[in-house]
Chain A
């Protein structure tokens, strides 16, 4: 006789492990394959665009020491080789994506399951709670191995077709870096899952740490003489691993120490915390803001203001940081073919403006995430049934959605102003005299792609509420991927057109594309109109 089974075909003792493995392996294989495809696409595009040694050397001279691109995308040694270029082009993207995956997998396995109440039956007593947490994490660990393996296998299988491809050890190293990134942030997710009260909070804390890690390594690489800071950032450790160019195994030490410490703390936390609660106590008594809560508008403000404020602060700091290093970075660009290289990246001016133009892509992605995030928040309100209470009384659902979209519009407008101010202030402090008009124009130029994505997200929300959020975030990722991989011209124009960021000018390096911006804004407004109309006619649906 076998152990009791619970419909999953798994022995009940290892049930949590089995469920966790199943989830993690499926998504790990998918994401890993995607990471492999990104790597291969980058290597192939390099061979297509820079077929000759002369071109490659020109590229290396222009970018090998450009602190701005290095700060944004990571170090760029050996740009005259496939491995070097690929490392520059995708290393950081890969580690950020793998980190996000690890974070998501850990918080999902630990808090997602717990929130559904499915664990309540398994969690009788503290001993069981530690065992359950350990099993869930073991499942995630298997998923991480699958993620890294899938990335390495896809890369190895497809890279052979290219002439100067990557060596087997390099591909293995790439898998190792993915493994390290995912492990580091899965360990973080395990800990935040114990500290915070819900999966949403645990992931948010994790993403904030990731953003700080990115900023730390940005400063470390910005040529300000602060390179030691790289050791203070988990993303910095992965960067130091440098699997494709100059592998440094020392960086394995902080990764291992961090992982062991965080997982141990997480297990300890699982033992002492209450199910459904977090270790960080929060104030459960509040003042009554009676004057404020007078309707859906006031509620929207009450629920969203702190989040939007955090976005604003984050974007202002980010833009300020970029503005601070831009002038210095521009002075490190050398070589006669710089203009050509910038042309390929979409920027046609030199100096500080060129650097700001290159950086605008990252800011545009963040602003788009903010826009899509507003639709995601609206969907979450609906899915949890909160909207029912308003619609069942005298609040029109259309009015509610318009308030939400209005909040998104205010958030975006605020970004435009703050980003412009931050860039202007930061560049002026460094003695780069750029006209404020130019900089505000560039800040405004970040908004049309975000508005277009907001429109698409709203249509999806009106038509397919359950799919809207993942698909919309997917679109942002897709758009970014397309410009990263195809930005140098190695991708079909038709595919390029599907990326909103491709249509955005690299302002202030070049003038905003007035027509493209108008089209994106129109798309956004049409999408919002269509989405609101569809929303007015459909059922409210739960999770």
Chain B
């Protein structure tokens, strides 16, 4: 099918005077893993809940494989599985019963995969939900989502509360899902996770999409991280064009440079730099750079 897995078109959600999401245009082609990033309160959860038809768009539309998520949720959700981190499941049901229920609600389940997942995630399905630890409740939902082999996995901070071993299991299955052609929309604050899993990232801030590129592109276009050591106190480089995110730590200066690096090199040479390294920024630095600058506007 040609329709993208997810398409948001001028998607807007207001709560009274709060604009939780402001004209979001987003497209996730099928078969990709998109990292969906943004500071707290940026509108990530709002976006995902709109995609799932749990809340109603104030304006705009959200489509899943070409089906409107609000008007026709049942058809849209036939190909979706959803996981969040605030997991409150039916306390009186056992983990196994929750899996049965969600499996039936979804329609189709790969029973062999389910049993494999229960073993890999090391979950005891005979225990009632109220007796599970936070991480174990999270595992129930992850298994429920993965066992359906849904074409689109919508994951909102899916690994919060999981230990590193389980985290690794999760990553393995997400990669496997991508290799099978499933699409993943992953909202997360775990940048290492996003870096390890995602093909592309989208960054939202204050309800607006500020960036949507592949990780490689983002790196190329983005600032270079520079670290320079001086014999004495570092000079004031705030006026140098392209320089931002300046941090001074004793005689060491760290900063990022956009565009041409020449003005900075000249300034550093003048100040008598003794040591200098530069490298592509980590996702964390990219992310922080996007959060810091209030002047970034939507494309």
Interface size bracket, A side = 20 to 34
B88: CB under 8 A from chain A? yes
Chain A interfacial positions (CB closer than 8 Å to B): 197, 283-290, 293-296, 298-299, 302-303, 384-386, 388-397, 537-540
Whether a CB of chain A sits under 8 angstroms from the CB of B86 is yes
Closest chain A CB from B32 CB (angstroms): 21
Which residues on the A side are within 8 Å of B92 (C-beta)? 303
Known: A392-B52, A394-B105. A284 touches B127 (CB 8 A): yes
Between-chain CB contacts (< 8 Å), 19 pairs = A283-B128, A285-B128, A286-B126, A293-B104, A294-B104, A295-B104, A295-B105, A298-B104, A389-B82, A389-B102, A389-B105, A389-B144, A392-B154, A393-B80, A393-B148, A394-B74, A537-B56, A538-B56, A540-B55
Instruction: List residues of chain B with CB within 8 A of the CB of A287.
Output: 94, 126
Given the known inter-chain contacts A286-B97, A293-B101, please indicate yes or no for A394 contacting B55, CB distance below 8 A.
Answer: no
Using Cβ atoms and an 8 Å threshold, which residues of chain B touch A392?
A: 52-54, 77, 80-82, 154
Q: What residue in chain B is nearest A395 (Cβ atoms)?
A: B105
SS class of chain A's interface: helix, strand, loop or mixed?
A: loop
- B78 on interface, CB distance cutoff 8 Å: yes
Give the residue among A285, A293, A295, A538 with the most B Cβ atoms within 10 A: A293
Q: State in angstroms the CA–CA spacing of A395 and B106 once bound together.
A: 8
**Which one, B74, B88, B105, B107, contacts A384 given CB within 8 A?**
B88
A288/B94 contact (C-beta < 8 A), A389-B89, A393-B81 known: yes
Tell me, in angstroms, the Cα distance from A65 to B18 when the chains sit together. 64
Question: Is A286 a contact of B104 with CB atoms below 8 Å?
Answer: no
Give chain B nearest CB distance to A179 CB in angstroms.
36
Residues of B in contact (CB 8 Å), total 39
List CB contacts (< 8 Å) of B36-81 with chain A. 52-56, 73-74, 77-78, 80-81
Measured between beta carbons, the chain A residues less than 8 angstroms from B94 are 285-288
A283 to B56 CA separation, bound complex (whole angstroms): 40
Select the residue from A286, A289, A290, A389 with max chain B CB neighbours within 10 A: A389
Contact yes or no, B105 A284, CB < 8 A: no
Q: How far is the CB of A294 from chain B (nearest CB, A)?
A: 5
CB contact between B54 and one of A197, A293, A298, A388 (< 8 Å): that residue:
A388
Q: Apart from A389-B105, A392-B80, what are 8 other A-B pairs with CB-CB below 8 Å?
A: A287-B94, A288-B97, A389-B89, A391-B53, A392-B81, A393-B102, A394-B74, A539-B54
| Given known A299-B101, A303-B92, A384-B88, contact A391–B127 (CB-CB < 8 A) | no
Q: Which of chain A's residues have a CB closer than 8 A to the CB of B128?
A: 283-286
Chain B residue numbers with a CB within 8 Å of A302 are: 93
Contacts of B145-172 to chain A: CB distance below 8 A: 148, 154
Q: What distance in Å separates the Cβ of B19 from its nearest Cβ neighbour in chain A?
A: 15
In the complex, the answer to whether B100 meets A293 with C-beta atoms within 8 Å is: yes
